[in-house]
Structure 1
């Protein structure tokens, strides 16, 4: 029996079910044009997990994949079109969209790609121009 926390989530219609286990590697907001368009919103709330912490428990055959670039394999339900997660193989992480796992206590720690923001959020969190240096970005912090 594991003592690790488990959080269940699903697509919009529930055909695809997932479970994430443990704690995310990071949580925050992405303001890049790609995430904004994919999420159909002015900002995307992310939770990043090691791939082995993310398990599709139902509907794996109902998951569609689109990758505009080799950095992101975006996954959605073929029935409802609801976005579920994105694999980031170059980072070794999987982004399970925060809204998909409502029972997870969402505690964002950073804003990334803030130079592209269309909705400026004044919450006191660090605002990175692009990505952290360890993920290939500049790591440069910009003002709120």
Structure 2
């Protein structure tokens, strides 16, 4: 739609630029071991989008992929190694990492894979042991 909001982001060096349009499906934090190892950090702040809302607008030739599991195809810049997004084909969404979209107001609503957390966060948001039931998880919530 012509009146959709478009947000622009880029990798660490700026060789790759992406846009997302409309509104994200969900925003939150992932604590899984896979995100921890991939990011070398304790937590991933995610913004989930319909795949058609995500476009590489510059530097597509620099986008490389790495797939360790069936749930994620991780995309990164081959120039700087900067992380861009992860395609989640089983869930039908694309996770564009919140920090690369500076103009998007990040409003998280949940924590997923909290059973793996190494950084406990007391923010009042639901903390799912794994994933919400509608995403194939147990739907079990853990206390803060």
Normalized against structure 2, the TM-score is what?
A: 0.98
Give deviations 1:65-98, integer Å, cap 9, x for gaps.
0000121000000000000000000100000000
Give the C-alpha shift of residue 6 in structure 1.
0.7
Aligned CA-pair RMSD: 0.7
Structure 1 portions without partners, runs of 5+:
none
In the alignment, what sits opposite 1:116? Answer: 116
Runs of 4+ in structure 1 over 4 Å off:
none
Give the structure 1 partner of residue 88 of structure 2: 88
How many corresponding residue pairs? Answer: 144
The residue matched to 1:91 in structure 2 has which SS? coil
2:34 corresponding residue in structure 1: 34
For residues 110 and 52 of structure 2, the distance between their equivalents in structure 1, rounded to whole angstroms, comes to 23
Q: Which residue of 2 aligns with 1:104?
A: 104
Residue segments in structure 2 that go unaligned for 5+ positions in a row: none
User: In 2, Cα distance between the equivalents of 1:61 and 1:76?
Assistant: 11
SS across alignment from 1:81: coil
Equivalent-residue separation in structure 1 for 2:25 and 2:66 (angstroms) = 24
For residue 38 of structure 2, give the secondary structure of its aligned residue in structure 1.
helix
Counterpart in the other structure of 2:25: 25
TM-score (norm 1): 0.98
Paired with 2:50 and 2:40, the residues of 1 have a C-alpha distance of: 25
Measure the CA separation in 1 of the matches of 2:70 and 2:59.
24
Counterpart position of 1:62: 62
Per-residue CA deviation, residues 34-81 of structure 1 (Å, 9 max, x unaligned), is 001111111000000000000000011111100001210000000000
